[in-house]
Each structure stands twice: as structure tokens, then as C-alpha cells.
Amino acid sequence: MQTVVGVFDSVDEAQSARESLLSAGFEASELRVQSSAEMEQASSSMPGKSASRDQDEGFMAGVGRFFGDLFGSDDAEQAGHYSEAVRRGSSVLTVTLMDDSRVEQARAALAAAGAVDIDKRTESWRQEGYAGFDPASAPYKSEQILAERNRNQEQMDMLQQPGSARTSDMGRSSQVADAAVLPVIREELEVGKRAVDLGTVRVVSRTETRPVEEQVQLREERADIERRSIDRPATEADLKAFEGGAIEIHETAEQAVVSKKARVVEEVVVGTDASLRTETITDQLRNTVVEVDKDRTASSGMADPSGPDYRTHYQANMASMGGTYEDYQPAYAYGSKMRSDPRYAGRAWEDVEMDAQQDWTSRNAGSSSGSGTWERSKQAVKHGWESMTGRR
């Protein structure tokens, strides 16, 4: 039997890890979450340990005995570190396995759930003056536990600060002669990798004693002496025996001889398994869009979107599809403004059609009019585009 131990900063994190292990196929009977209160109850109910003794020695002494029995005398120092973690408000999730082949699976599951690296945590305690677990010490109070968790979180944040793109020039404008300059800014996504500390899960091996029973048949030989009353004349042999003598009978008995022989029946290999996974990063990037709303009627004599030019196209191509000219007027106007959008500058209609479709569909997602769909509006958008580019 093997026991895998994971330490978590709070009982909620330990319960969340327990749910993850249940989802991974572990049995509820194999898992046990122990907070400070449960550790106190466990320490007072150990065989041979009375409740009065726990009261005399204090709660932390009971916690120390719990981990001492779990780890054994050969790893007393490590048991003390786990006891110190409980004293500071942490919770423990133990996974007790009869099948040793599942130890590595349990270890990986606890690490993925965020188990604390007890060795690194101990090192940070030593920097604050920690010299080893003291069974006579009092457990942390609620405000001390909160301060401890905040300090641990700050340390994790310092180790895991992500890099960020440079945006110091965003929003800056300048003047060149008499012309206003608007900087066109585009964000770029930078995706890197960093190592994340998933904690350490310790595999504990201990020796158990189990009673066995075997039956064996033992043989004994004892002297059997019988006296019989008879009445007959003495023979020559009887007279010879009358002169005296002795008869010896050797008694024997078998005794059970017990010996034990240790055999290696299984090996548990504990190591790490490295794997690669592909993760898709999704984010929103911003860029500056400058729209030029030009009065083409005043500058070049071309009709505006409500002029007869678009109405003529509507009557010839769109009226038969249903809907009024006012229903299609936004599509004509949208197409005429596309040319000023830097995303479409210098591109042919066949190149921009897909982008225009996505943008138009997004803008009219809530439209209840049938003419707001791309298939109904595409000709009007294209006509507006061509009227601005001279490709009509």
C-alpha cells in the first residue's frame, strides 16, 4: 500500500483537487481531505493515543504524531515540514492506494491540481527564521493564515510575471508644420513560454504488519505402560526376568519451526514524464482605423448615396428582390465608405469581399430586415465600392 500526499494552501483548493481526482477515476474511499480541524480529530483518535494526552501536549503535537506515523521514523524531518504547513493553515489531501501502479498517476494529478512544493515553501520559511517544526507551537490564527497566504501569493506572482508588448507610444500625437498627424497604431501579439511551478508531490512508503495463520501436524511418541493381572505358572523366561533388569523406551515429539524469508514482489519507479501540448492563444488586438467622410457632391459633383445614381441601380437590380430603396441605402453607403478604410486600400473587390462580408454581417447581426443580410445587400455594397474606386 502506498500513500501520496499533497498540501494545498486552503481547504477549498484541496477539495477542488479531490474533485479532479474523482473525475480522473480515483475512488472516493481512496481520497481524504484533512483541514486543521480534521487533523486534530485524527490525531486524537490514533490507536494507543488518548484524548487527554492530546490535550496535555497540545493540538500541534497530535498533528506531528499523525505525520510521524505516516512518514515513519526515517523521514521525521520531512514529516515536521508537513506538520508546519498545517500549523500555518494549509490542508492535506492524501491518496491511499492498494495498487502501486497508480502512484505516478496520483502524483501527476495532485501536481496538476496545484499542490504546494513543500521543499520550496520550507526554504522560504527558513529565510524568515524557521528552524524546524516545534510540537509545542500554537497553530496560526485566522489573521496570521490570511497574511501567510497573501505572502505566498506575492511570491508566486513575482515568479510568474508575464512579459508585455511595448505600448508606450500609444495615444501620442504630434504637429508637423500646419498638418495634424494621427499615428496609426497596431497591436501585435507576442506569445512566449515560461516554466510554471506545479509543486511537489511526495510518495511515502511504509511497512505494514499483517497477521497470518498456518496449520501444521506435529507427531509425539510417549511411553505407554499397562499393568494386567494374570495367574499362570512361571516359565523359564519369567524366572530369568525375575533376576532384575531394565527396559528403556525413547519418547519423541515434533515442534513447529517458523522462519520468514523476504522476497521482492514489485518495484515502484518514481520519476517525471515530460510531454508536449499545443495551446491556442486567443486575444483581441487593436489598430487605428481612420475613416474619411468626404462630401463628394460638393467636391466632385458625384451624387451622394441618396442621389439618383444609386436609385437607378436599385430600380434596375434590387427592387425585384423586395424591400424599399431606404432598406438598401445603408449598403450603398457602406460600400462607398469602404475605400477610405486602410484595411481595403489598394485591393480589388475580389480580395476584400470576404472581409467586407464578415464586417457587414457583424454590423447587422441584430437586423430584423431581410435586406440586412449579406446575400441581399452584396450587390448594393459592391456598387457603392465601385462608385468610389472608378471601377464601375
Q: What is the mean pLDDT of residues 193-222?
A: 83
What gap in Å lies between CA 18 and CA 34, rounded to an integer? Answer: 11
Query: What pLDDT is attached to residue 18?
Result: 93
Q: What is the mean pLDDT of residues 243-260?
A: 82
Beta carbons within 8 Å of 189's beta carbon, 6+ residues apart: 165, 281, 283, 285
Q: What percent of the chain has pLDDT over 70?
A: 79
Reduce the DSSP state of residue 195 to 3 states and report it. coil
> CA angle 325-327-331, nearest 5°?
95
Query: What pLDDT is attached to residue 56?
Result: 40
54 compared with 184, residue with greater pLDDT? 184
Entry pTM: 0.40
Whether 286 has a pLDDT exceeding 50, the answer reads: yes
Q: Across-strand partners of 179?
A: 176
Query: What pLDDT is attached to residue 391?
Result: 54
Q: What is the mean pLDDT of the chain?
A: 78
Q: Which residue has the cell 510417549?
A: 222
- Cβ(31)–Cβ(22) below 8 Å: yes
- Which segment of 69-78, 270-279, 348-357 scores lowest on mean pLDDT? 69-78
Query: What pLDDT is attached to residue 284?
Result: 84
What gap in Å lies between CA 53 and CA 62, rounded to an integer? Answer: 9
Question: pLDDT category, 253, cuts 50, 70, 90?
Answer: very high
User: What's the pLDDT tens digit per position in 92-109?
Assistant: 888 988 888 888 998 999
Cα–Cα separations (whole angstroms), residue 33 to 17, 36, 335? 9, 10, 64
Query: What pLDDT is attached to residue 55?
Result: 46
Q: What is the mean pLDDT of residues 58-71?
A: 77
Using the Cα atoms of residue 280, residue 282, residue 287 and residue 291 in order, give the sign of their dihedral. Answer: positive
Query: What pLDDT is attached to residue 21?
Result: 92
Query: What pLDDT is attached to residue 301?
Result: 33
Q: CB-hemisphere CA count at 13 Å for 27?
A: 7
Query: What pLDDT is attached to residue 390?
Result: 61
Q: What is the mean pLDDT of residues 297-321?
A: 63
What gap in Å lies between CA 258 and CA 287, rounded to an integer? Answer: 85
347: region left, alpha or beta (phi > 0 left; psi from -120 to 50 alpha)? beta
Q: What is the mean pLDDT of residues 169-183?
A: 39
Query: What pLDDT is attached to residue 19?
Result: 93
Query: What pLDDT is attached to residue 164?
Result: 37
12 compared with 168, residue with greater pLDDT? 12
Q: What is the mean pLDDT of residues 140-145?
A: 87
Q: What is the mean pLDDT of residues 126-138?
A: 86
Query: What pLDDT is attached to residue 173?
Result: 32
- Cβ(133)–Cβ(78) below 8 Å: no
Using the Cα atoms of residue 124, residue 125, residue 129 and residue 130 in order, give the sign of their dihedral. Answer: negative
- Cβ(306)–Cβ(326) below 8 Å: no
Q: Across-strand partners of 33?
A: 93
Whether 112 has a pLDDT exceeding 80, the answer reads: yes
Query: What pLDDT is attached to residue 16?
Result: 92
Whether 75 has a pLDDT exceeding 70, the answer reads: yes
- Which segment of 26-40, 72-86, 344-358 scores lowest on mean pLDDT? 26-40
Q: What is the mean pLDDT of residues 246-250?
A: 78
Query: What pLDDT is attached to residue 258?
Result: 85
- Which segment of 9-13, 198-202, 277-281 scores lowest on mean pLDDT? 198-202
Q: What percent of the chain has pLDDT over 90?
A: 7
Cα–Cα separations (whole angstroms), residue 383 to 150, 200, 305, 337? 62, 66, 11, 11
